[in-house]
Amino acid sequence: MILSRRHVLLGGTGLTLLGCSKKSLREFQAGRELAQVLDAQATRDGAGVSLKRALGHRAIPYLDPFLMLDEFHTDNPNDYLAGFPDHPHRGFETVTYMVHGAMEHQDTLGNRGRLGPGSAQWMTAGHGIIHSEMPKQERGLMWGFQLWVNLPASRKLIAPRYQDIPAGHIAEVELEKARVRVVAGTAFGKTGPVTGIDVEPLYFDAALQPGAELDQATPLSHNAFAYVTEGAVRLGPSGREVHQGQLAVFGPGDGVVLRGAEGGGRVLVMAGRPLREPVARRGPFVMNTEDELRQAFEDYRTGRLTVM
Ligand code: MN
């Protein structure tokens, strides 16, 4: 008989698993239930870009180690053309993931990258960068996401680092009734291209047709959430339907359960190891104390933000 990957992961012989219920064949024992479902908030940022903030607003300011998740999704150029001209960051990482359209990234030290459809950039601001993020098209659909990930106190002032991932380098997995792109971490047997990140992130984008059944182990230590980007997806062992524009926070457990809903849907799933450190944040800086924040603004003002 043919042993499936699940059998192998359980260390079973296949025979011993005959007759087991579907649940016992999961790669994990205790799937995470949903702790909270929240609507993303419409807002503006940069030079007037319309976006939806799924994480990092009043109702959910922080989901350790994740600070923010923004979605920009529009075919009206007035919503995005102004872009994000020169602005600083210190003390955390920004992760940009594009579905449609193109953005150009450029920093004051000469680093430059073009993010096309399906690409990602994991940017570790560390000690400090000053950069612009500008749309590279004048019409058409722009659809992308930016996630902010915190850095541990001991690593907030490291040298900046860029991981630019072209669309073709993102790990793609074809499953029954589902298609998954893995940006970071390992899911469904594939490991994403982003490496060396402190919080050991999992970041994947899953498109689920009706009837799809996806189970993915996640470290017990990690916090996890999902953001539905199209249609609807049923999440958690109880299969609660979560809709486009909703953030679902997973509770404790050792895996996530995703099921296709009627009409299908698409969802970003992220997990990371919480830092459990104080967070002092204002605008583009994320530090541990008010003093460090003051220092960041002072360094920016005096031109020392990017001087190590
Ligand atoms: Mn930025």
CA distance 162 to 74: 27
* pLDDT tens readout for residues 203-220: 999 999 999 999 999 999
Cα(47) to centroid(ligand 1), Å: 12
Cα(258) to centroid(ligand 1), Å: 31
Per-residue pLDDT for 141 more than 80? yes
CA distance 149 to 168: 24
Cα(233) to centroid(ligand 1), Å: 30
Residues, the chain: 308
Cα(182) to centroid(ligand 1), Å: 23
Cα(89) to centroid(ligand 1), Å: 7
Residue 87 has phi, psi (to 5 degrees) of -155, 155
Output the pTM of the full model.
0.91
Q: What is the mean pLDDT of residues 112-136?
A: 97
Per-residue pLDDT for 12 more than 60? no
Degrees (nearest 5) of the Cα angle 278, 227, 244?
A: 145
Cα(165) to centroid(ligand 1), Å: 17
Q: Which domains does the chain have, with CATH numbers?
A: 27-301 (2.60.120.10)
